[in-house]
Chain A
């Protein structure tokens, strides 16, 4: 039984892109497209979530993700509260639930949760009272669904439908919640071919089972790719001898202009940020004409608006068709 989907198909929480039906993934991107139009107007705000309260609950620091969630909520006219909880891995259990009850008592409608532990968002989703939505803003190595959705949205805007595309995800797949969510979202949306490129030490075992092609050689993996999605090297998560050095990583898996020549002539380069310049990406590529990294940031606002407006809509009268048939 899915925690995030109700039996009638309504999205109650967004915890992971894994298992989301294609119609729901498409619906989120289509709704984001409409919000992109809103963000291009002189009045960049709609009254959709007026009177609703959204709490950004960040147990792990992240300026960009938190800021775009905050802006998205404000563009929807919701009230937003930011709570940065000093990270203490032992403070989960009872004290987390205590904190939740207190925040719920303030009549909030949604939690946006980032946590260093995999499964934290789902844990919170299982314990909130009915009608409160949870959006996962990154949990441990598990998932980062809004990042994956904004990436898919960016690809669709830049390259059109995903079916004919070859998409290569490069870097530390093992520690990356972003990669996992990207793979589920892209395959769920029918992407033609998804490749992962990484040294064996940074590849999860059984990764092929997800439906991706695995390359340990960068040049081979980039051949003909329409989209190159670089991952951030998770230095803070790298313990032990998974890699000899960052410079060797760059030599084998860094994206340079030379390597980019192997991709499709119209290929685009993406990165979830913040970029470790000279580790994953040559600065000339990061700031070059193929890079859509800043557009990803812009698109992140529209996609998060779409997710918030979908999970916060229609709780008390959960009809699948929604407004389609409501009296005009």
Chain B
């Protein structure tokens, strides 16, 4: 069974529009974009361009804050977080490629607060494929996807950014 995969550039445009509307509605001036490794960093960099954001993109590795270390282990390629500016009092936009259970975002929120106390945190996600296990919802979204539960969607990149779908072994 094949699924029509969304075009990443189109989703990025729609996410940028949605995020801009949110900034306007909540009167947000100069947000800090924080991408979650690895896909979220690519999305954050693309958004940084589209939003003409001033602060540099910060990156977050959430592997050390995950709740499934005991069962799944540490992933093979752990990246380094890079938060070059103070988050204290600032509006932070946490950015990821795909949201499903919400556990990555839970881990990211914990990791984020190790760097200070943001004034406000928003969540921007390129694709929401449903299946939440935690009460976490994006503030800005590229697109809602309907995928069979056995399929995993993943953003590949960085050049060009594109989605792939893999099927879980039965």
Q: A327 touching B100 by the CB < 8 A rule?
A: yes
Which residues of B are found within 8 Å of A38, using beta-carbon distances?
Answer: 64, 81, 114
Q: Which of A37, A313, A318, A328 contacts B74 (CB 8 A)?
A: A313
Interface check B24, CB cutoff 8 A: no
Within residues 1 to 47 of chain A, which ones have a CB less than 8 A from any CB in chain B?
10, 27, 30-31, 33-38, 41-43, 45-47
Among B4-12, B25-33, B49-57, B65-73, the stretch that binds chain A is: B65-73
B69 close to A313 (CB less than 8 A): yes
Asked whether, in the complex, the Cβ of A317 is within 8 Å of the Cβ of B100, the reply is: no
A183 to chain B, nearest CB (A): 25
A129 to B68, CA, bound (A): 22
Which of the listed residues B76, B116, B166 has the most CB atoms from chain A within 10 Å of its own CB? B76
- How far, in whole Å, are A314 and B79 apart by their CA atoms in the complex? 19
Given contacts A48-B64, A328-B96, contact A37 B72 (CB under 8 A): no
| B63 in contact (CB, < 8 A) | yes
Minimum C-beta distance from A36 to chain B (A): 8
B162: which A residues are within 8 A, CB to CB?
none
Q: How large is the interface on A (under 10, 10 to 19, 20 to 34, 35 or more residues)?
A: 35 or more
Least Cβ–Cβ distance between A101 and chain B, in angstroms:
23
Q: In the bound complex, do residue A34 and residue B78 qualify as a contact, i.e. CB atoms below 8 Å apart? A: yes
Whole-angstrom CA separation of A46 from B66 in the bound complex: 10
Whether A323 and B70, one on each chain, are in contact in the complex, defined by CB atoms closer than 8 angstroms, is: no
Nearest CB on A from B84, distance (A): 12
The count of residues in chain B whose C-beta lies closer than 8 Å to any C-beta of chain A is 37
Interface check B99, CB cutoff 8 A: yes
Q: Which residue in A27, A34, A316 is a CB contact (below 8 Å) of B70? A: A316
Collect the chain B residues with CB atoms within 8 Å of residue A320's CB. Answer: 76
Q: Which residues of B contact A46 (CB under 8 A)?
A: 64-65, 111, 114
Instruction: Please name all residues of chain B whose beta carbon is closer than 8 Å to the beta carbon of A34 when the two chains form the complex.
Output: 61, 63-64, 78-81
**Residue numbers in B under 8 Å from A35 (CB-CB):** 64
Residues in A with CB closer than 8 Å to B69 are 48-49, 309, 312-314
Do residues A310 and B74 form an inter-chain contact, with CB atoms below 8 A?
yes
Q: Output the nearest chain B residue to A10 by Cβ-Cβ distance.
A: B73
B142 to chain A, nearest CB (A): 14
Closest to B116 in A: A42
What sequence of 0s and 1s flags, for each residue 256-290 of chain A, a beta carbon within 8 Å of any chain B beta carbon? Answer: 00000000000000000000000000000000000
A11 (CB) vs chain B CBs: closest residue: B73
Residue of chain B at shortest CB distance from A37: B80
B114 and A41 within 8 A (CB): yes
Residues of B within 8 A of A310 (CB): 73-74
**A-B contacts, 8 listed (Cβ < 8 Å):** A34-B63, A37-B81, A38-B81, A43-B115, A313-B70, A314-B69, A322-B74, A325-B152
- Which 5 residue pairs spanning A and B have beta carbons closest together? A314-B73, A313-B73, A46-B64, A323-B75, A43-B114
